[in-house]
Structure 1
Amino acid sequence: MADQALIVGGTTGMGRATAELLLKGGIEVIIMGRPGKKLEAAREELSAHGKAHAVGVDLSSLPDVQQFTSSLKTEFPDLKYLLNAAGYFSPKPFLEHTEEDYDRYHAFNKAFFFITQEVARVMIGNGGGSIVNIGSMWAKQAIKATPSSAYSMAKAGLHSLTQHLAMELADHNIRVNAVSPAVVVTPIYAAFIEEDKIEEALQGFNSFHPIGRVGRAQDVANVIYFLLTDKSSWVTGSIWDVDGGVMAGRN
């Protein structure tokens, strides 16, 4: 049986780009996303590169998450890789945040926590594995133009979880790392920018990055793939800045 990878948030963006790389590498991929036509369309397109499955789960619903995890070992017994890639981003001033805003961000971490817990149990039975979380530059650096207090809290929590799990799961031959991107052209900005205008809108951030351009999903996926695979077998507990140089300094 081929090794399997679960991509939580694999229909678009960095998750989708990573799924394609894994499939091309001969790994069977399960993409998770909101139930619907978009999820199935992504699975069909990814199937051109290898064996791809799709699982519809509402990550904001703990019962949905629990239903998925309860059957995980039976449905996908050969899991060796996990990418927690789902996300939501809509800048709003701290004084305007509502409880609903806060919960929307932190629901992802709750889902990641319990999905990762069950995946780790499956990995232990398979002799080990590799986990990557998609964090964010905003968890390390506040940007006044994009106020993101609740989002940043959630991503900082994911960075911390990465390091704690790296320590706890090392004895089980499971590595845990994270990437911390800056501005990347993905559909995550559709929460506050019309999707067909995202590309144009983000060009204004090119000079924000010392390298001179915003990122692409493939830029981050290449690093995620490296961290997931044995090419990085001596790396665990790391938070990799994949950010065009932003954390080194800004223009």
Structure 2
Amino acid sequence: MTETAEAPATPLSLTGRVALVTGAGHGIGRASALALARAGALVVASDLDLEGATETERLIRSAGHAGVAAAADVTDEDAMRAVVDDIVGTHGRLDIVHANAGVLMAGTALTQTLDEWDKTFTVNVRGTFLTARAVLPQMIEQKSGAIIITASVSGLIGEPDLAAYNASKGALVNLTRQLAVEYAEHGIRVNGICPGWIETGFNDPVLGHLDSEELDQLVGQQVPLGRQGTAEDIAPSVVFLASDWARYITGQLLPIDGGLTSM
């Protein structure tokens, strides 16, 4: 009979670990950075918008936790390598990465401009790929690591007026699986989260034209729990997937959508 390891210590803790969160200047990225810090990780909150990242650092530190802001363009390979080199040079390791940076631009196959299509894939797919490429050498050397990719329910289903976004998030769904299979032998786990409608302003290009009554009606029709989610609804799953409690989970996509994809 195969010997099983002991269950992880309770409560869930990330003490002693170093985490990088991209797109941490607002929304899901900020909530994730705060939650990882509360769980004990030292968090590097990176964003193209340094002001936003710095505010996330302030919130982490004001709560008594360890956080650092960094300016980073996920679409720039040299910039991502520099951020990772700085983290490893300063802290000696990198245990957790939440690859969260992304954009949403509405459009159909007939109305989406090529510039919008290219930018969507550049940020969402190339940016996530370059983030993984930057962090994997250190995690391979450590023989451990957890990468959490922000995909979307938009990568699991088809939606009107979201041609580029649906396609890019579908790519992230399978990139998550590919990375998980490729790097499992090095002790690296790769999982994805698939948020539904989250009330951060990110979905405004699609939902912004609706007044509050119309939005409530639409949400009521399509989301069994009857409300949009919040960034704080997403963050605990990131912490879980980063932790030893998820040590036998890799290559999985977790919908966090109030039941939307079950309709």
**TM value normalised by structure 2:** 0.84
Task: Return closer, same or farther for 1:69/1:30 CA change in 2, 3 Å cut-off.
Answer: closer
Provide the alpha-carbon RMSD of the alignment.
Answer: 2.3
Task: Check the 8 A contact 1:205/1:213 in 2, yes or no.
Answer: no
Task: Return closer, same or farther for 1:33/1:173 CA change in 2, 3 Å cut-off.
Answer: same
User: Distance between the aligned counterparts of 1:126 and 1:215, measured in 2?
Assistant: 36
- The reply to whether residue 143 of structure 1 matches residue 159 of structure 2 is yes
Task: Return closer, same or farther for 1:205/1:123 CA change in 2, 3 Å cut-off.
Answer: farther
1:241 — aligned with what? 255
Structure 2 letter corresponding to 1:113: F
Task: Check the 8 A contact 1:81/1:228 in 2, yes or no.
Answer: yes
Task: Check the 8 A contact 2:98/2:148 in 1, yes or no.
Answer: yes
User: Distance between the aligned counterparts of 1:131 and 1:202, measured in 2?
Assistant: 33
Q: Give how far 1:12 is off.
A: 1.2
1:105 aligned to 97, 120, 145, which one?
A: 120
Task: Check the 8 A contact 1:9/1:86 in 2, yes or no.
Answer: yes
Task: Check the 8 A contact 2:74/2:131 in 1, yes or no.
Answer: no
User: Distance between the aligned counterparts of 2:223 and 2:241, measured in 1?
Assistant: 23
User: Distance between the aligned counterparts of 1:25 and 1:190, measured in 2?
Assistant: 31
Q: Which SS does the other structure have where 1:94 is aligned?
A: coil
Structure 2 letter corresponding to 1:103: D
**TM value normalised by structure 1:** 0.88
Task: Return closer, same or farther for 1:125/1:61 CA change in 2, 3 Å cut-off.
Answer: closer
Which stretch shows the higher mean deviation, 75-84 or 64-73?
64-73
Task: Check the 8 A contact 2:25/2:49 in 1, yes or no.
Answer: no
Q: Give how far 1:217 is off.
A: 0.9
Q: Which SS does the other structure have where 2:260 is aligned?
A: coil
1:57 — aligned with what? 72
- The reply to whether residue 10 of structure 1 matches residue 24 of structure 2 is yes
2:100 aligned to 54, 63, 85, which one?
A: 85
2:235 aligned to 221, 225, 237, which one?
A: 221
The runs of 5 or more residues in structure 2 that have no matched partner are 1-14
User: Distance between the aligned counterparts of 1:119 and 1:198, measured in 2?
Assistant: 42
- The reply to whether residue 46 of structure 1 matches residue 60 of structure 2 is yes
Q: Which SS does the other structure have where 1:130 is aligned?
A: strand
2:191 aligned to 177, 180, 184, which one?
A: 177
Q: Give how far 1:32 is off.
A: 0.9
Q: Which SS does the other structure have where 2:43 is aligned?
A: strand
Task: Return closer, same or farther for 1:126/1:181 CA change in 2, 3 Å cut-off.
Answer: same
1:126 — aligned with what? 142
2:219 aligned to 199, 206, 231, which one?
A: 206
The runs of 5 or more residues in structure 1 that have no matched partner are none
